[in-house]
Amino acid sequence: MRRTSLWAYVVIAGAFMLTGALLVLFPFEQMDFLLQFLAAYLALTACSKFWDQWRLKSSIFKGEKGSFPYLLALGYLLLGLVIYWQRSFLVVWVVKLIGVYQLGLALLNLFAYYLMRKDQVPSRWGRLAYAIFHLIFGIGSILTPFQGYRALQWLGIYLLLIGLSYLKDGRNLWALPQTSTPRWTWRVPLPVVFSLFFPQKVLAQTEAVVQGRISLASSDLNPGRDADVSIPAEELALSKNKNLLVQIHVGRDRYSRVGHMNVAYDGIVYSYGNHDAASRRMMDCLGDGVVVLLNHQEYLDYYLSHRVTIIEYEIALNEVQRLALEAHFARMQDQFVPWYPQSAQQLKGFAGNIIRQTQGKFYKFAAGKYQTYFLFWTNCVLFSEELLRVCGFDVFPLVGIQTPGTYYDYLERQRRQNPSRIVARRVYNRDLRDYVAKSKVQKL
């Protein structure tokens, strides 16, 4: 299994690095090849979706209802054909799209800077510098697309760095256990368009197990399946009840598809988000930042009852990390202002449900950047990431748009490392739980 995983890392790293190197050396020629590859991929995806719906149509386990799956497959096919026949035209537009993406990042970071300035956050100047950087390069890519080889070369360098990240992970997977404490370092995340829906893979695998298409033993869903533990036994025993839990949510509705990210410590879940329905604006992208503190088991019970799947990673902490995290929680709580949902709109939404069904407590922030929730900056991922950084885990640079899928991809790779601080991974899913319970009854 380890040898197979190692070769998977090597192949992925090689693909990224080869593509990146060719983009640096032959930007336009390589982009033409990538568009051909993308067209073929979309066509194969369309055929696969048509086949899946046809196969499930006669099965007792139905696929998605209505004509949407067929329309989606047809859309994939048509898009693939358009890309193939318009490659030379699209290369120029790829350069422009890179520019548009950079402009989008510039605008988002300018708005984030405005919010941080409004909330009097001292560290706001980094956002402004990052916005200006993307603004300059974005305008250049849009206005001079035929000179866009530089934009493609930047893309090539980015892919090279991703490949190096995978190569490093593969090397660590095969390396002999070390006696020193593993150190998490910065790495380059995958593009948001790829990582956004990564957690959906767990949901798809869960459905495959429940529907009988694959066995539970052959899946990666065994509840409580532990990673290789390369941590001294006495240290692990000391931290048994004081480990850090990172939770990634995934579901089928439009909000849950993107996911959500929490951390839990000492039996308490810290869930930050746009929980005040009355303060939401800009299509729910903006609002008052609210954190709910909730008992871990109550949190699981609540979300399982709402058919949300939770992937939970347990990270072992040493004494220094625990003390640093507890000190950070103490400083954070000094900024807490108790908040109670009162209006009909608030009581009808998530906050009202939590109040009625659990013992959870809500807080807003009296100061700091988390006073205002912004989907593309001060969101659940940034909140959770800050807690990881307090423990000394510098995972990703604060650039681009980070999603729960970014961390799902990273944590999945990290738990296979040798050694790894991730000592356990658990998947909580109501259908999977019922399936396992039913299987145990049938064996009796």
Our measurement of the distance from residue 15's CA atom to the centroid of its chain's CA atoms, rounded to an integer in Å, reads: 22
User: What are 11-43's pLDDT values in tens digits?
Assistant: 777 888 888 888 888 887 888 888 888 888 888
Q: Which residue has the higher pLDDT, 301 or 405?
A: 301
User: What are 76-93's pLDDT values in tens digits?
Assistant: 888 888 888 888 778 777
Closest residue by Cα to residue 165 from 134, 190, 135: 190
User: What are 291-350's pLDDT values in tens digits?
Assistant: 999 999 999 999 998 888 899 999 999 899 999 999 999 999 999 999 999 999 999 989
pLDDT, residue 42, reads 86
Q: Is the pLDDT of residue 400 over 70?
A: no
Residue 63 CA to residue 69 CA, distance in Å, equals 9
Q: What percent of the chain has pLDDT over 90?
A: 24
Work out the number of other CB atoms within 10 angstroms of the CB of residue 370: 23
Q: What percent of the chain has pLDDT over 70?
A: 77
* CA geometry: angle 48, 90, 49, nearest 5 deg: 10
- Considering the entire predicted model, what is its pTM? 0.75
Contacts from 235-240 at CB under 8 Å and sequence distance 24+? 235/316, 235/318, 236/316, 236/423, 238/319, 239/316, 239/317, 239/318, 239/319, 239/322
Q: Which residue has the higher pLDDT, 357 or 212?
A: 357
Please tell me the number of Cα atoms within 13 Å of 226 on its side-chain side. 8
Kindly state the helix (H) or strand (E) to which residue 74 belongs, with its residue range.
Answer: helix 68-85
Residue 415 CA to residue 404 CA, distance in Å, equals 16
pLDDT, residue 234, reads 42
Considering all CA atoms of the chain, what is the largest pairwise distance in Å, rounded to the nearest integer? 71
pLDDT, residue 192, reads 66
Partner residues linked to 244 by β-bridges = 265, 315
pLDDT, residue 233, reads 43
Q: Is the pLDDT of residue 197 over 70?
A: no
User: What are 131-148's pLDDT values in tens digits?
Assistant: 888 888 788 777 765 556
Q: Which residue has the higher pLDDT, 123 or 244?
A: 244
